């Protein structure tokens, strides 16, 4: 088949696709199949479990008592086992990869020591966790070369620019597009069968510090690159996953969950934001902005007709409710004022304080009382928010009571048209109530695509299943 020069498929392989010899063989066969009809750009995550290990390494390195040599050895072993499994010892790629691994492990060791000398900081955290993707990208590229491809690799700090919100950096799309055009685009033009593996998850700030895009950020890396190349190619993105696509509930919670074949970016964003952790929520935003089509496909069955296509179109059908999602670990903050401090000004002060400190507000609740504000934040931000409020000139004053509840979950029903469908709220209340699940707060998303209930964490799994039966199984 003649290769179509105008088509580019950006493929993102997550940790579940980078586990053992069989998974690398699978990548190889997917690449062979697709390259007959399209150019391919591969975005690579860290190998399975590696980002968690690197975070553990960072945290342990921060506390002086710990000796992290065991962890470093574990990180080395996880990689070398894979290298020995997938690369032939007699080939050049093997020795190149082992050498690269050893050099980088040595660097990591030094960084661990450095943290003990200087203060721990978010930029060192990002630098350390980025080694997962750096190593896996080099390895995949060498593996593909050993399988007969002309494969090259490129580290993403050379082409993806971000702001300096370390740990959850935001891409600077325009600046990135310029770099991608200068550096990546010529590489893609060079040769039809040329493969390029780019590291996912991280980029760099304007002053050249490594910055990560938040957990699950490789999905976003793929979106950023496709966005930057959209004017040169007909771009499509395929996210290869360990599920068939977007399901109408988290398969780990609901055994009945089934595939959504077609979904709009608007709805998919809502799903991802409210806990369907299958794609990074921002990657959907970037895909939507670029007018890019994307697919989620099952890595173990690459030829299957069962997959999800995500486009700009909202599909009209009779099912108003597309999916049930949940965020298991959240915290809820209630600010109460006995005196009547005008709430409009209070809310403005509150949200700018949180915004300036990069706190993500997951929901704002409609409150029955006029003098309190309730909002949800990520569990990990609890301590920071509590500190910010208690130390703020305004909220730290004695007329506010601050209540923090870190034992809550959010369940949401998602679908276009929820707002205009009568009876949804009532059905949520009765189905949860009939099952003895107490609703602590409700929130209607601004986007009119979701209805959200806040409940005790112990009820989270049960609530998803109850709502699934009420709205989807029927
Ligand atoms: P990757 O390996 O690409 O990083 P992830 O592990 O981040 O993939 O995403 C896939 C996982 O998302 C699945 O294994 C599944 O358990 C989980 N998941 C949660 N909610 C959903 C949903 N609604 N649809 C599909 N998968 C979901
Ligand atoms: N390796 C990173 C993580 O585990 C990024 C990713 O896999 O998308 O969060
Ligand atoms: Mg992920």
Question: What pLDDT band is residue 220 in, cutting at 50, 70 and 90?
Answer: very high
Q: Contact 293/242 with Cβ under 8 angstroms?
A: no
78 is a domain residue: yes
Whether residues 235 and 337 share a domain: the answer is no
Read off the pLDDT of each residue in 325-340 and give the average, rounded to a whole number.
Answer: 86
Question: What pLDDT band is residue 395 in, cutting at 50, 70 and 90?
Answer: confident
Q: Contact 310/226 with Cβ under 8 angstroms?
A: no
Whether residues 224 and 77 share a domain: the answer is yes
State yes or no: pLDDT of 340 exceeds 80.
no
Say which range, 44-48, 90-94, 209-213, 359-363, has the weakest mean pLDDT. 359-363
Give percent above pLDDT 70 in the chain: 93
Give percent above pLDDT 90 in the chain: 71
Whether residues 334 and 465 share a domain: the answer is yes
Residues measured by CB to lie within 5 Å of ligand 3, the ion: 216
pTM (2 d.p.): 0.91
Read off the pLDDT of each residue in 223-251 and give the average, rounded to a whole number.
Answer: 96
391 is a domain residue: yes
Whether residues 344 and 451 share a domain: the answer is yes
434 is a domain residue: yes
Q: Is 203 in the pocket of ligand 2 (CB under 6 A)?
A: no
* Per-residue pLDDT at 277: 84
In this structure, the strands spanning 262-264 and 450-456 are unpaired
Cα–Cα dist 167/106, whole Å:
23
* Per-residue pLDDT at 446: 59
Whether residues 24 and 165 share a domain: the answer is yes
473 φ, ψ (degrees, to nearest 5): -65, -50
Q: Give the count of domains, the chain.
A: 2
* Per-residue pLDDT at 2: 42
Cα radius of gyration rounded to whole Å, the chain: 24
Whether residues 37 and 177 share a domain: the answer is yes
Query: Which ligand 2 atom is at minimum distance from the Cα of 219?
Result: 8
Mutate which of 156, 168, 217, 277 to test ligand 2's pocket (most atoms within 8 Å of Cβ)? 217
Whether residues 329 and 225 share a domain: the answer is no
Mutate which of 242, 245, 246 to test ligand 1's pocket (most atoms within 8 Å of Cβ)? 242
Give the CATH number of the domain where residue 148 resides: 3.40.1160.10
Q: Is 246 in the pocket of ligand 1 (CB under 6 A)?
A: yes
261 is a domain residue: no
Domain residue limits at 373: 323-471
Whether residues 50 and 164 share a domain: the answer is yes
Query: Which ligand 1 atom is at minimum distance from the Cα of 239?
Result: 3
Whether residues 202 and 348 share a domain: the answer is no
State yes or no: pLDDT of 315 exceeds 70.
no
346 is a domain residue: yes
Question: What pLDDT band is residue 416 in, cutting at 50, 70 and 90?
Answer: confident
Question: What pLDDT band is residue 115 in, cutting at 50, 70 and 90?
Answer: confident
State yes or no: pLDDT of 59 exceeds 70.
yes
Q: Is 217 in the pocket of ligand 1 (CB under 6 A)?
A: no
Say which range, 5-14, 85-94, 111-120, 416-425, has the weakest mean pLDDT. 416-425
* Per-residue pLDDT at 95: 98
Look at residues 242, 268, 289 and tell me which one is the last residue of a structural domain: 242
* Per-residue pLDDT at 118: 80
Question: What pLDDT band is residue 248 in, cutting at 50, 70 and 90?
Answer: very high
Whether residues 198 and 337 share a domain: the answer is no
* Per-residue pLDDT at 417: 75
Cα–Cα dist 86/80, whole Å:
10
State yes or no: pLDDT of 396 exceeds 80.
no
Whether residues 175 and 30 share a domain: the answer is yes
Q: Is 322 in the pocket of ligand 1 (CB under 6 A)?
A: no
Q: Is 54 in the pocket of ligand 2 (CB under 6 A)?
A: no
Give the CATH number of the domain where residue 357 resides: 3.30.2130.10
Residue 245 Cα to ligand 2 middle (Å): 18
Residue 106 Cα to ligand 1 middle (Å): 33
State yes or no: pLDDT of 368 exceeds 60.
no
Q: Is 403 in the pocket of ligand 1 (CB under 6 A)?
A: no
Q: Is 18 in the pocket of ligand 1 (CB under 6 A)?
A: no
Q: Is 137 in the pocket of ligand 2 (CB under 6 A)?
A: no
375 is a domain residue: yes
Question: What pLDDT band is residue 318 in, cutting at 50, 70 and 90?
Answer: low
270 is a domain residue: no
For the segment 26-43, what is each residue's pLDDT rounded down to a tens digit? 999 999 999 999 999 999
Beta strand residue intervals within 287-352, DSSP E? 293-298, 308-311, 323-337
Whether residues 19 and 129 share a domain: the answer is yes
273 is a domain residue: no
Beta strand residue intervals within 185-256, DSSP E? 194-199, 202-204, 210-212, 234-241
For residue 291, the SS3 value is coil
């Amino acid at each position: 088949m003649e290769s179509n020069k105008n088509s580019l498929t950006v493929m993102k392989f997550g940790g579940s696709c980078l586990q053992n010899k069989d998974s690398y063989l699978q990548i190889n066969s997917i690449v062979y199949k697709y390259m007959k009809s399209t150019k391919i750009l591969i975005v690579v995550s860290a190998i399975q479990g590696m980002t968690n290990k690197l975070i553990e390494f960072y945290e342990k390195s921060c506390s002086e008592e710990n000796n992290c040599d065991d962890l470093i050895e574990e990180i080395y072993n996880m990689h070398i086992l894979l290298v020995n499994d997938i690369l032939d010892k007699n080939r050049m790629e093997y020795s190149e990869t082992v050498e690269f691994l050893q050099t980088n492990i040595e660097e990591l060791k030094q960084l661990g020591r450095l943290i003990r000398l200087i203060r721990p900081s978010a930029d060192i955290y990002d630098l350390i966790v980025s080694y997962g993707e750096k190593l896996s990208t080099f390895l995949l590229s060498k593996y593909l070369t050993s399988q007969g491809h002309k494969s090259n690799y490129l580290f993403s700090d050379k082409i993806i620019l971000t702001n300096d919100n370390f740990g959850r950096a935001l891409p600077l799309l325009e600046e990135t597009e310029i770099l991608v055009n200068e550096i990546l685009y010529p590489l893609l033009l060079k040769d039809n069968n040329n493969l390029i593996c780019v590291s996912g998850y991280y980029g760099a700030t304007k002053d050249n510090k490594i910055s990560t895009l938040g957990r699950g950020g490789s999905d976003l890396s793929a979106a950023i690159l496709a966005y930057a190349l959209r004017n040169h190619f007909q771009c499509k993105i395929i996210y290869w996953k360990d599920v068939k696509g977007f399901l109408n509930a988290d398969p780990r919670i609901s055994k009945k969950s089934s595939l959504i074949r077609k979904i709009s970016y608007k709805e998919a964003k809502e799903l991802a934001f409210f806990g369907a952790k299958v794609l990074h929520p921002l990657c959907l935003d970037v895909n939507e902005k670029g007018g890019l089509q994307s697919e989620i496909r099952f890595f173990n069955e690459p030829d299957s007709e069962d997959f999800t296509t995500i486009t700009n179109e909202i599909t009209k059908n009779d099912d108003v409710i597309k999916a049930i999602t949940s965020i298991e670990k959240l915290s809820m903050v209630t600010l109460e004022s006995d005196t009547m401090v005008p709430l409009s000004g209070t809310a403005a002060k509150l949200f700018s304080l949180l915004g300036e400190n990069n706190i993500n507000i997951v929901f704002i609740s409609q409150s029955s009382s006029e003098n309190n504000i309730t909002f949800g934040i990520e569990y990990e931000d609890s301590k920071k928010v509590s500190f910010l409020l208690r130390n703020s000139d305004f909220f730290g004053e004695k007329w506010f009571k601050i209540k923090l509840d870190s034992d809550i979950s959010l369940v949401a029903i998602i679908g276009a048209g929820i707002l205009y469908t009568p009876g949804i709220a009532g059905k949520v209340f009765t189905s949860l109530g009939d099952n003895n699940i107490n609703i602590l707060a409700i929130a209607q998303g601004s986007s009119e695509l979701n209805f959200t209930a806040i409940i005790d964490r112990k009820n989270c799994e049960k609530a998803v299943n109850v709502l699934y039966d009420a709205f989807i199984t029927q």
